[in-house]
Chains A and B, each alone.
Chain A
Amino acid sequence: MAALEVEGLTRHYGEREALGDVSLSLAEGQTLVVFGPNGAGKTTLLRVLATLLRPHAGSVRVLGSTLPEEAWAVRGRVGMLGHEPLLYRELTARENLRFHARLHGVDEERVQELLDALAMGARANEPLRTLSRGMVQRVAVARAVLHDPELLLLDEPHSNLDPAAIELVAPLIGAGGEDGSDAESTRRRTRVICSHDPGGDIARADVVLGLRAGHQVLLRAAVDVDVDEIAELYR
């Protein structure tokens, strides 16, 4: 089953087109990396896939369900990490994650699991406003994968993270099977990543999409793309 099937997706912002006629398809377990300058529509695309925005034209099918009519069937199977951490600063990491666990019907043991994986230690019980941005970003990642989504949408996931943190976080947002865990977890997760780092992220990609001013300029298997073409987008 294709995880994503997008055909002619268009979305307006008033009279301007935020996304114009975008089409792509992604199989289950694949990783799509989206490149493009600011304002190209990457975030809009991600939000449409997350069911947060409705398409104005075209068709979108996520995990087999048509949006926007069947959006309810997709929620809970999608995890998103956007620009905002979506966490309450006055609450602790543990309290924030517990709250999200309840919203998703997830057991609370999972919260402890993630806190351990992030090596938060005692900081997990302090209000988020006392933590550094890097640590908050880690908790945000945990929030995004808490309910073990089939589709993971990441908008520049490595922002604010130092290399050590990036390492900690990798198994959580990875496609699975990278950490030698048991057979169950090797079933790969589908991912869409928005990125500004052509060098690093092409390696992770199966498919690459280039956007400029809302239109798709490039859509190809990652092996067929080189870094210079991506750099062109930003000119």
Chain B
Amino acid sequence: MYGKGLRTLSIATAVALTASLSLVFFYAPLEAEQGFLQKIFYVHVPLAIIALCGFVLGGLLAIQHLRTRDPRWDMRSYVVIHMSLIFAVGTLITGSIWAKGSWGHWWVWSEPTLVSFLIIFLLYATYQPLRFAIEDPERQARYASVFAITAGAFVPMNFIAVRLSTAYLHPRVLGSTSNLPGPMALTFLISLLALSLLFATLCKYELTAKHTRAQLRALRRRLSGETSAPTRPRSAAPSLHHVTPRARAARGSAL
């Protein structure tokens, strides 16, 4: 039920990634100043954009969770934030490599995007420890949602503040993304598309896997008699109180 469309999505992602890589290496022209290293821009900036959108999306999904109290929204929020954190780490690493290559330092304070990401990374790195520290699954989901909404609102606020604070120090090292010439713009857009598809596919995989496992556990419980099921060990991941469809119909309730 949850794996619908997963194969199509995976194929589309594979195609887009291949296309993107080919464009980056064979089509996009070499940039005058920075040379080959500049090509990391095609990875770094899309990763950044997707991670930021992901964090904000995580907040929106969390709002739905608080409104409907349906644990599936919390599951979606968790997976999206989780994935965005990975993309954020990718942003930091690619940004660092780029900084080393073009400025000689592994870290530069004058690049507001990088600095903002560091702060956001430090914030979202507490998401899983927060979840893990709360044992009651419903409370865990609720608190995580409050965090996700606060942090989601924080992301733009943080960007504004950091931008303001670095504006008067140095000119932007890593260059802006506006005024890109044709071939570069095309490569950038394809890259953005490919990485977005990757993000969506990975999220879908994780959601499908979790739902499947939860259904399996519910079936096992049903077979062996509900009282004999051992409780799961403490976990930061959301749990779904999955009920097999027949039992759900018998109860006549919507989860």
Q: Residues of B contacting A137 with CB < 8 Å?
A: none
Number of A-B contacts (CB under 8 A): 44
A14 and B251 CA atoms in complex are apart in Å by 18
Whether B69 pairs with A54 at a CB distance below 8 angstroms is yes
Whether B255 pairs with A13 at a CB distance below 8 angstroms is no
Q: Say yes or no for A17: interface residue by CB 8 A criterion.
A: yes
Interface of B is mostly: loop
Whether B255 pairs with A14 at a CB distance below 8 angstroms is no
A window 1-31: CB within 8 A of B:
8, 10, 12-17, 20-21
Q: How far is the CB of B86 from chain A (nearest CB, A)?
A: 25
Whether B227 pairs with A14 at a CB distance below 8 angstroms is no
Whether A15 pairs with B255 at a CB distance below 8 angstroms is no
Whether A8 pairs with B251 at a CB distance below 8 angstroms is yes
Number of interface residues of B (CB under 8 A): 21
Whether A14 pairs with B226 at a CB distance below 8 angstroms is no
Whether B232 pairs with A15 at a CB distance below 8 angstroms is yes
Q: How far is the CB of A215 from chain B (nearest CB, A)?
A: 8
Q: Say yes or no for A170: interface residue by CB 8 A criterion.
A: no
Whether A20 pairs with B137 at a CB distance below 8 angstroms is no
Whether A20 pairs with B226 at a CB distance below 8 angstroms is yes
Q: Say yes or no for B33: interface residue by CB 8 A criterion.
A: no
- B232: which of A14, A54, A56 is its contact (CB, 8 Å)? A14
Q: Residues of A contacting B214 with CB < 8 Å?
A: 15
- B231: which of A8, A16, A54, A57 is its contact (CB, 8 Å)? A16
Instruction: Evaluate whether A58 and B251 lie within 8 angstroms (CB atoms) in the complex, with A12-B241, A15-B217 already known.
Output: yes
Whether B69 pairs with A14 at a CB distance below 8 angstroms is no
Q: Residues of A contacting B251 with CB < 8 Å?
A: 8, 10, 21, 57-58
Q: Say yes or no for A213: interface residue by CB 8 A criterion.
A: yes
A213 and B226 CA atoms in complex are apart in Å by 9
A116 and B92 CA atoms in complex are apart in Å by 67
A141 and B251 CA atoms in complex are apart in Å by 37
Whether B232 pairs with A57 at a CB distance below 8 angstroms is no
Instruction: Evaluate whether A57 and B217 lie within 8 angstroms (CB atoms) in the complex, with A14-B239, A15-B232, A17-B226 already known.
Output: no
Q: Residues of A contacting B229 with CB < 8 Å?
A: 15-16
Taking A8-B252, A15-B218, A15-B229 as known contacts, 12 extra A-B pairs with beta carbons closer than 8 A to each other, sorted by chain A number, are A10-B253, A12-B138, A14-B231, A14-B241, A15-B137, A15-B232, A16-B229, A17-B226, A56-B241, A57-B251, A57-B255, A213-B227
